[in-house]
Structure 1
Amino acid sequence: MKTNSVINSIQPGNSGPLEVDEVINCFRNRWQSTYDVQLVVRSKRLYFQVMWAYLEQQSFPKTKETYIADLQNVVEVVNRLGVSAEVRDWLWNTPKRPRLGKAISLHLKATQALEEFVL
């Protein structure tokens, strides 16, 4: 049984830093799969993308350890840019779902830190 602190840490509305376990729990609760994520820069805009490939897939190219390390790197950038609340809210509330050949994307709003990152 989950305690209130654990439930609050994986639900939208938490304003603290995003955590790897929180993202994994969100994916498993919403879509029953542990999807890959990446940050993509296009035309001086940064996007947080949830890819269609997932850890439980036989053809997934990463080991669990590599997946977690890569996710940790993405989460760290999200937190340093100060957009963790925006990403958290989107992950829990987007009506879209990743599907074969199609990622889902969140355009991260410009902040001073983000503008420096994209340059």
Structure 2
Amino acid sequence: MTLLTGEALHALLLRKWGRSFDLQFRRAGDRIFLQVMWRYLEQASYPDSPEDYAAHLAAIAQHLNDWGCTEQVCHYLETTREKPRLGKAVSIPLELGTRIIEWLE
């Protein structure tokens, strides 16, 4: 399993789309998704500082490491043809074990 850092996650987003998109976890029923949101750090209206953005990505990366789904997320980001746009996030379904889902309840 490859460990992911916030910096590596940021570099992956920049390589894919050329922007520092926001990432959020979303739960829908018994599924968890990592969503690449349409807002990004380079926007004048983005609410967080670069330092806050970096800390947020580090926390996201740590969760992905803890859940053992970093390779799945990296592969999805590298191969998807989707792109975040206003009102539409790119949703990455996370394959988590049932024990992790129970822990999140």
TM-score normalized with structure 1 length:
0.81
- The verdict on how the C-alpha distance between 1:33 and 1:75 changes in structure 2, with shifts beyond 3 A counting, is same
CA distance in 2, matches of 1:58, 1:27: 19
- Name the larger-Rg structure: 1
Which of 68, 78, 82 is the matching residue for 1:96?
82
Q: RMSD value over aligned CA atoms?
A: 1.3
Residue-pair matches, total? 105
Shift of 1:113: 4.6
For 1:20-99, list aligned pairs within 5 A. 20-99=6-85
CA distance in 2, matches of 1:95, 1:82: 24
**Could you say which residue in structure 1 is the equivalent of 2:2?**
16
Shift of 1:114: 2.6
Among all aligned residue pairs of Structure 1 and Structure 2, give the percentage whose two residues are the same amino acid: 31
Bigger mean CA deviation after superposition, 16-25 or 106-115: 106-115
**Could you say which residue in structure 1 is the equivalent of 2:97?**
111
Structure 2 segments unaligned to the other structure (5+ residues): none
Task: Note if contact 2:7-2:57 (Cα within 8 Å) is conserved in structure 1.
Answer: no
Shift of 1:88: 0.8
Task: Note if contact 2:2-2:70 (Cα within 8 Å) is conserved in structure 1.
Answer: yes
TM-score normalized with structure 2 length:
0.91
Letter aligned with residue 16 of structure 2:
R
Give the match's secondary structure for 1:105.
strand
Structure 1 segments unaligned to the other structure (5+ residues): 1-14
Letter aligned with residue 49 of structure 1:
Q
Task: Note if contact 2:6-2:58 (Cα within 8 Å) is conserved in structure 1.
Answer: yes
